[in-house]
Structures are given as C-alpha cells and as structure tokens.
Amino acid sequence: MISYTRQPYYLEGTHGKLFCIYFSPSEISQHPVLIFSPFAEEMNKSRRMLSQQAAQLAEMGAPVLMFDYFGTGDSEGDFADASWEIWVSDLSIIINWLLESNTTTFNILAMRMGALLTTRISPSFHKFINKVVYWQPVTSGELLMSQFYRLKLASDMLGKDSGLTLKDIKNQLQDNQHVEIAGYSLNPALAQELSNTKLQQIESSVLKDAYWVELINSEEKPVPPASQRVIDSLCEDGANIHVKTVIGSQFWSVVELVDVPQMHAITNQLLTR
Amino acid sequence: MAVLDEVKSMLGDVLQIGDRTDTLTEASGLIGVVPEFDSMAVVSVMTAIEEHYGILIDDDEVSAETFETVGSLVSFVESKI
C-alpha cells in the first residue's frame, strides 16, 4: 500500500475560487483520476463513497483530484448563482491544472450528473482522456430535474400540503424565478440548461475506453432498459462502453449512509493497471 | 401478497431500517411514524417503485394519504400495475 497525502487548495475559477482536494500518492504509478461529482443532495450523500474511492486509488498509486462545482460545497459562490455554463467553463481550468501537474493522460470517474458534465469537456482535451468510468450515470438532465422537483412536492405533501403541483414549479422557473428545493435555491438558468443536456450528446472520442457501472438490487434485474438504449446508441456512434453491474443500495439516495465496497473493488480494478 | 413483500423490501432498502423491515405489516404507519420517512425517502420510494415495475407515477396522483401506511402504499402500487 502506497502512502498518500490529502492536499486541500483553492483554484481560481471563472467566477470564484474552487475548492479542490488532491490525493497525492508518495509514488505515482497510475494515471491521475479526475472525479466529477453528482448534483445537490446526491452530491452530499455520495461524498463519503467518492472520498473513500479517491483514498483507495491513491493507495494504489493514482493521484486523484476532487473538486466542488462553483456555488456548491466549499467552493465560492451561492448555489443560487450556479449555472451549467459556469460549471462547464470551470472544467477547462480544472483539467488544465491536472495536466500541468501530471504530464500523462488522465482517467475520469463521473457519478450521476457528473456524467452529463463529461459531455461538455472541451474537444481539445479529448486526446488526453484515457479511461472513463461512470457510476450510475444520469442519461437525461430532464429526468434528473424532475426527480429534484419531486423532492419539493414531497416535502410540501409531508408538511403544509398546499397542493403544490409540478406545473407550479415549472411555471415559476419559466417566469425566471428561483425555486427553493430541499434547501437549494435553484437558478432557473441552471434548471433549463441541465434539462437540455443528455448523455447521448457526448462525442465518442471521450468514450474510447469507457465503463458503465450500474448499481442494481438483485441479479435478476439487469441494467434498466432506458440505460441500455443509451449505451447501444452511443456504441453505434463509435463509443466503446463496457457494462458492469454491482449489487447494493443506491447510496446517493438512501436515508442512512451506506457503503458499497463492491463499487470500490470494481473501480480500483478498472482504474489501475 | 407478493406486492406487499416487494414494497416492504423497497422500503427496507430506501430507509435502511435493517431487521425492522420484517416487522412491517399493512397496518404499519409510515409518514409521521417512521422517523426516517422524510421527503427524500418519499422521492426514493417513488423512484424505486417506478424502476421496479417499469411504470411512471404522475406526481399529482400521490398524496400524503398514499404514504400513510404500508397498506395504503401497497394499494396504490396495486392500482398502478
């Protein structure tokens, strides 16, 4: 096992400082890994699993970079000011930093919404991408947003029950107003941009050697048909995607913190030589 | 009977209540009774039901009553499949 240090630092982003943690192994023997985190509450709930993953990869000799998107976590800015365009433009700064510190190509570990963000990696970086590992990628930003709106409907239902409907939320966003959901003030621009993003928009040059890890409840239930359709269509367009399944609880959405060690085991295998 | 077991298993998975899952019956209360049953849990249960049965739930067709007890949730699922 290789020793490593956790180096927290701030990187100057396009709209404010971005909080980064660099897991730096004493001996580097693997490609560096850049982690793309999920969205809002899913990000909070998965922080522990992602951070454990980073530590395990570092112990195997891979430098790992985790960062908080603008307006989230310990980065500067309010969530209310966060937009997809800011996150996309900050991405180039993050990747440049990674390439400056490590002259090799790099691997990507992207979870849930993080996968949607990989569709917007500047083409000039595509040649530096080695492997891509997706953890239960979100295939449609629109679906992710619907699930997020549902949080508000559910909390309304459990609380004062004002009869709020999905239409009310969508109307409010369309009128260019922020919507408060589970403590997050959602910028209408972010909602709009995310809703327009689909994983299928990705260029196949990003997915030359990609792994799609899907968490399932039981052996009898393979990858959901909706995901399979996206995988098939991406492969037809020239992507090379291998599907892996892991049995366990969906740790980004369950109430208590759960660990899925199998997820780490398979990821360690995929991202190290 | 099968739906009851499936719903119980989904609840146990989402709420991470371990062995308490086995003690759930149709009469067991959810909202306001199980402390873990918050809005995030409601959303996760709805998503789990959609994925498990391959159905789409319209947000307007569920209410607090749907999640009152295990039995009310089971009846809702049975009406959808």
Residue ranges of domains in chain A: 4-140+199-271, 141-196
Provide the shortest C-alpha distance from residue B56 to chain A (in Å). 12
Residue A171's pLDDT is 94
Residues whose CB is less than 8 angstroms from the CB of residue A205 and which lie 6 or more positions away in sequence, other chains included: A123, A126, A127
Q: Is the pLDDT of residue A97 over 60?
A: yes
- Give bridge partners of residue A241 from the DSSP assignment: A210
Q: Is the pLDDT of residue A18 over 60?
A: yes
A28-32, A80-84, B23-27, B39-43: segment of lowest average pLDDT:
B39-43
Mean pLDDT calculated for residue range A127-148: 94
CATH numeric code, A4-140+199-271:
3.40.50.1820
Q: Which of B52, B59, B66 to mutate to test the interface with A (most CBs of A within 10 A)?
A: B59
Distances (CA, A) of A146 to A190, A204, B30, B59: 13, 27, 24, 10
Residue type present at position A222: P
B contact set with A (CB within 8 A):
13-16, 31, 36, 38-44, 46-47, 51-52, 54, 59-60, 62-64, 67
> Rounded distance, CA A226 to CA A207, Å?
19
Report residue A54 as tokens. 């980073």
> Rounded distance, CA A260 to CA A242, Å?
20
Question: How much is the mean pLDDT over chain B?
Answer: 88
- Percent of chain B past pLDDT 90, that is, above it, reads 38
Closest CA to A227 of A239, A240, A243: A243
Q: Is the pLDDT of residue A27 over 70?
A: yes
Per residue in A212-264, pLDDT tens?
999 987 776 678 778 888 999 999 999 999 999 999 888 998 877 889 999 99
Residue A141's pLDDT is 93
Residue A103's pLDDT is 67
Q: How many CB atoms lie within 10 A of CB A41?
A: 18
Indicate whether this complex's ipTM tops 0.90: no
> Rounded distance, CA B8 to CA B22, Å?
8
Q: Is the pLDDT of residue B1 over 60?
A: no
If you measure CA to CA, which chain B residue comes closest to A164? B60
Residue A102's pLDDT is 63
Identify which of A209-213, A244-248, B61-65 has the greatest average pLDDT: A209-213
- Judged by DSSP in three states, B48 sits in helix
- Percent of chain A past pLDDT 70, that is, above it, reads 99
Residue A36's pLDDT is 98
Q: What is the pTM of this model?
A: 0.90
Q: Which residues in A234-258 are b (16+ Cβ under 10 Å) and which e?
A: beeeebebeebbbebbbbbbbbeeb
